[in-house]
Structure 1
Amino acid sequence: MPLLRVLRKSTPLGVLNYTARCSVARMNTISPATSADLGPVSARRLNLISAVLVLGAITSLLDTTIVNIALDHLHTTFGTTVAQTQWVSTAYLLAYVAVIPVSGWAAERIGARRVWIAAISAFLVGSLLCGFAGTLPLLVAFRVLQGLGAGMILPVTITILTRAAGRERIGQAMIAIALPGQLAPILGPVIGGAIIESLDWHWLFFVNVPICIAALAFAPRVLPRDAGQRGRTFDLVGFLLLTPGVAAVAYGISQAGGPDAFGAPESWVPLAAGAALLVGFIAHALTVKRVAPLVDVRVFARRSFGLSSVITFVGGFSVYAIMFLLPLFYQQIRGESVAATGLLLIPQGLGTILFLVLSRRFLANIDGRFVVAGGVVLTMLGIVPFALAGTSGGEVLLLAAQFVLGIGLGAVSLPVMTLAFASLSPDETPRGSAAFSVVQRVGAPFGVAVIAVVLQSRMADAATPAAALAAFGGTFWWVLAFAAVPLVLAWFIPKKPVAEAAPADPARV
């Protein structure tokens, strides 16, 4: 199976959710947001803000897996080659990552609420145009517009939520950002498969329309208003270094699918070029004086933010890799359909939901080191049954293992994100959100790509079902070994409860 297609079916691009206690209908009773709303808001208002932001973010997260499930169908529909059809996903991915670095500056210059509304609008228009596209080139072009909107949504969402929550409720804000990234790889294949079987491929994109319209309807009345700072000069040099650098790295990772993996020219050339551009941006960001850099790289020098970023990056080799492997295991080893696989993965989502619900009660009193380390251990325990599984039988054990995995994934992702953003002041949040999002969008796919290469090398000589099973089993053991890295790093987390990770002076973190 081509690695590019495999990656796009399973890589979580990220992270957003919260089940609001207030019904959507109650949003109409909220008075319009004013400029005074920039700081922390009431608990009820925070719930409503979370609900609106989730409406927008869940569509961009689900869109990736929903569409990827239909690539084979689109290949047949348009009568194009597989390589040509895969640009439906590649174009979206590159546009997505390329626009992230600009999100921080845009939120500061124009205002986070305006940028968020513009991003949702772009995604909505892109979805409509994709649904009406009659040729593959048009579909690919409109996917770029979709990706540009989607790439802005997550970092700006983080900015709005963390500002509205304030440092005292940073953990609650992170709960609102944690769940959809875990559920998207599970729900996406189910929804996409159902659309292809029951409706038409156009509805892969039209399904976004009512959700985006609802988000746009409530956003002006619910989201806090911030006027932006007109004097913010755009960092053009940084843009010319960082944006193509991130896009080149993402493209290089996505192309590591042939026999030579990362050694193939189509992979290592863009990776090397992207890395050189990123190094150039870091040097620029540390020395520029006249303008604020697109991404404030100095925040990585802080223990809390830097360590959280490292854990997030290396988590791609374990936490995100397991989410990549499980669907393949069920489909290639167990012979399950795409829709059945999505249903089998539900216990994992339930485990994550359980952790995020319970975490609101106990996280504030527990040392963050133990939460993250415990989450990694649970993840490792959930991997073992799959490393030892056969081609049939043991379903109850595997489902239970996925439930444990879900708890572990939530216990790793939530405290790490809380720790990262608790150290940022409101003014630092936009560029810090962009920086963290870049780490996520590069680290997770890179780790997954490495594991995919491990699996592909083992599957190359797997001529029998038993050999294929052994290949998967060996790859699961690799993931288990990689999990030891975040387990070790967890003990360097500051000795403070997760929900109280922010010090009085963020410069001293």
Structure 2
Amino acid sequence: MTSNAATKPLTQEGDTFSLKAILPPLLAIIVGMIMVILDSTVVNNAIPKLVEYFNTDLKTIQWAITGYTLALSAVIPLAGWMTDKFGAKRIFLITIVMFTLGSLLCGLAQSPEQLILFRIIQGLGGGMVAPIGMAMVFKLAPPERRGSIMGVLGIPMLMAPAFGPVISGYLVDYVSWHWIFIINLPIGILAFILGKKYLPKTEPQKSTHLDILGMCLAPIAFAMLAYGVSEGGTDWSSTGAITGLTIGGIALILFIIVELRQKYPLLELKVFKSSDFTRGIILTWIVQMALFGATLMIPLYLQNIKGYTALHTGWIVMPQALCAGLMMPISGRLFDKIGARPLAFCGLSVIAAAMFILSTVNVDTPIWMVIVAVCVMGLGMGSTMMPLNTHVLNSAPRDLVSRVTPLTSAAQQVVVSFAVTGLTAYLTSHINTHMATIGKTGDPQTALVAGFGDTFFLTACIVSVGIVMSLILRKPKMQQIEKISEEVDPAMMMGH
């Protein structure tokens, strides 16, 4: 999206800024973003109920999460091109409708296959809501007040992950799992009405070339690799594992070749030539893998091993998001003074400690021990996420900085899908191994607990690798940071 887009600040230079003037369109964007963020947190807590309801297994139902995140990764890089071509307001409203329709269909799903398909539809709509919404807020607010407006926007974005599992738990326990999706219907309608009435009209701009080949290869590569990893958890020599990994690997190689040769690539892979950028983004991926692995595994452990209800589980995992939100502003101020390396080292160490604690859980583990681990993990997440994201942006080559956010956002969703698929496959495989070891006379709960312990231990080991990597982070040169600050444009939030 070009920097002179039709969306203009609601107050011009010399005018007195009034929050009242920007509140209606800001509210429309906030409602839409809350709906999408909530949906990304409510499903994990409902996984045991979905497995039971559809009479299926974890390996199958996890695709309701994986398919959703892969769909997000497919459309995030297209947000900028779509808004340039058709206008930001129009695309924002269309994506709200698509997400809301997908939510309704998910609530009406009659089989796991239908649920997975409808979650993909949700993801295709939801992937553009946040980047377009953030860019519209950036354009609507005057430059001198953008920080405070972004702060207002950030409050519900932090609260949604905290209350999502609790809302999900209540609906699953006292209403029906269908309502974790159907509840989006009134929210989506409200977001559409507010957006239709209050968002300023934006005219289409001259758009750049669309990388159609890259757009086709990326979903094939990532989906097939995820499928191969999922099948490999049962048997790496199986036809499904070999087929998925082979097709996915070939598609990934072709995608990389195409992107490096494109003048306007879907994802700008040339940024990986910067070693500082590469180290930073790998650490970001490790944090994301730990975060989403934990948000999947902890509810499964609490409900399947400890016997807690979905609502109780929601209350237990809630402190993770609250502690992360508490640490984010603190880590932001510390980052300005000491840089990313000490924060990443300390934060990753704390996350690893939490994972090692969780790797020791069993049937008799006191719940306070789990809550402590959850809180510690949240503090670690809050200490690392913002500093690492900012470090990645600062480390990008100056001529490619406007292409960084689409790449990191899309890659994050791909990493999440691989984390969910890979850890689920690892958990299932190790439970089966322990079941075979104890035999028919053993206690199945023992095998389940051992499988969870192994999976948490694997995650702790991965985070430990990140701790070592954090020691070689380098602070970008001040001239580069200043240049990047001048070049940052809302278009970079949407795929340009």
TM-score, normalising length from structure 1? Answer: 0.74
Deviation at 1:325, TM superposition (A): 2.7
Aligned to 1:489, the other structure's residue is in SS state helix
Give the drift of 1:359.
4.0
Matched, 1:325 2:304: no
Of 324, 327, 336, the match for 1:352:
324
The 1:246/1:306 distance shift into structure 2, 3 A limit, reads same
Instruction: Check if 1:148 corresponds to 2:124.
Output: yes
Unaligned runs of 5+ in 2: 436-441, 488-496
Question: What amino acid does structure 2 have at the position aligned with 1:461?
Answer: H
Partner of 1:212: 188
Q: Deviation at 1:330?
A: 2.0
The aligned counterpart of 1:19 is none
Residues 47, 440 of structure 1: CA spacing in aligned structure 2 closer, same or farther, 3 A cutoff?
farther
Task: Call closer, same or farther: CA 1:75–1:365 in 2, change over 3 Å.
Answer: closer
- The answer to whether the 8 A contact 2:66-2:421 is kept is no
| Cα distance in 2 between the residues matched to 1:365 and 1:168 | 23
Q: Provide the C-alpha distance between the structure 2 equivalents of 1:304 and 1:68, rounded to a whole number of angstroms.
A: 34
**Residue 254 (structure 1) shift:** 4.5
Distance 1:149 1:59, change over 3 A: same
Kindly report which structure 2 residues correspond to 1:287-298, keeping only aligned pairs within 5 A, or say none: 287-289=261-263, 292-298=264-270
In structure 2, the partner of 1:437 is 409
Give deviations 1:420-468, integer Å, cap 9, x for gaps: 3456799967753332123112223323444444433432324434454
Q: Give the conservation status (yes or no) of the 8 Å contact 2:81–2:210.
A: yes
Report the Cα offset of residue 208 of structure 1: 0.8
Q: CA deviation at 1:171?
A: 12
Q: Counterpart of 1:248? A: 224
- Partner of residue 35, structure 1: 7
Q: 1:123 to 1:476 in 2, by over 3 A?
A: closer
174-183 or 486-495, which deviates more? 174-183
Compare 394-403 and 336-345 and name the one that shifted more: 394-403
Verify: 1:279 aligned to 2:258, yes or no. Answer: no
Q: Deviations over 1:27-85 (max 9, x none)?
A: xxxxxx96334999989699988765443233234335535655776688789999987
Structure 1 residues 328 and 35, CA, compared in 2 at 3 Å: closer, same or farther? closer
Aligned pairs (5 A) from 1:84-233: 92-131=68-107, 142-157=118-133, 159-160=135-136, 184=161, 187-219=163-195, 227-233=203-209
Q: TM-score, normalised by structure 2?
A: 0.76
Structure 1 residues 148 and 181: alpha-carbon distance in aligned structure 2, compared to 1, 3 A threshold: farther
Instruction: Give the match for residue 237 of structure 1.
Output: 213
CA contact (8 A) 1:379 1:405 kept: yes
CA distance in 1, matches of 2:463, 2:377: 12
Task: State how far apart, in whole Å, the 1-side matches of 2:400 and 2:123 are.
Answer: 25
- Tell me, in whole angstroms, the C-alpha distance in 1 between the residues paired with 2:313 and 2:356: 19
Q: Distance in 2 between matches of 1:272 and 1:39?
A: 55
- Aligned amino acid, residue 379 of structure 2: I
1:472 matched residue in structure 2: 452
Equivalenced residue count is 471
Q: Deviations over 1:82-124 (max 9, x none)?
A: 9987776666455444333433432443444543332122112
Which is worse superposed, 205-214 or 356-365? 356-365
Would the alpha carbon gap of residues 83 and 483 (structure 1) be closer, same or farther in structure 2, given more than 3 Å must change?
Answer: closer
> What letter matches 1:275 in structure 2?
G
CA-to-aligned-CA distance 1:389-432 (integer Å, 9 cap, x gap): 44325433432232111010122222222233456799967753
Q: From 243, 249, 264, give the equivalent of 1:269.
A: 243
The CA RMSD over aligned residues, in Å, is 4.6
Seen in structure 2, the aligned counterparts of structure 1 residues 180 and 323 have a Cα distance that, compared at 3 Å, is farther
Which whole-Å deviations, capped at 9, do the CAs of 1:355-403 have from their partners, x for residues lacking one?
Answer: 1244455443232211121111111222333233443254334322321
Which residue in 2 is equivalent to 1:458?
A: 430
